[in-house]
Amino acid sequence: MLIFRDLDQNCSKKHIFKLIRKMQRQLINFGKDANYVSFVVGPFPTLFLETRKRGLQVDIEFAMWGDSFEEAMARFDEVVGLMERTIVECDKNGMHRKPIKSGI
């Protein structure tokens, strides 16, 4: 899951959905040569105790598969690499006022 460091941005659907769309586009772009890997990026409702406001986190789920457990797990580095490239690209392109935190 990802959140903005500026917690008020997490309470703005506009900011969250802009980030989600950007991440989806980047994952498609970066992952065009990836095989047997998939991602779901979407909003996850959250209560931010520090601000006492309801907002959203960006949830990133992934799947990887193969003909065996070992073959599927061999794709884990590719999954992490695609997520990292996507997050770095979104961070670099100013999708926020302050750098985003990552649960990765």
pLDDT in tens, 47-80: 999 889 999 999 999 999 999 999 999 999 999 9
Tell me the backbone φ, ψ of residue 45, rounded to 5 degrees: -60, 140
Structure tokens at 10: 């997490």
Helix axes 76-92, 13-30, angle to 10 degrees: 130
Q: Is the pLDDT of residue 83 over 90?
A: yes
CA distance 12 to 56: 8
Kind of pairing, strands 53-64 and 37-48? antiparallel
CA distance 40 to 7: 23
Sequence-distant (6+) residues with CB within 8 A of 66 are 36, 72, 73, 74, 75
Q: Is the pLDDT of residue 104 over 50?
A: no
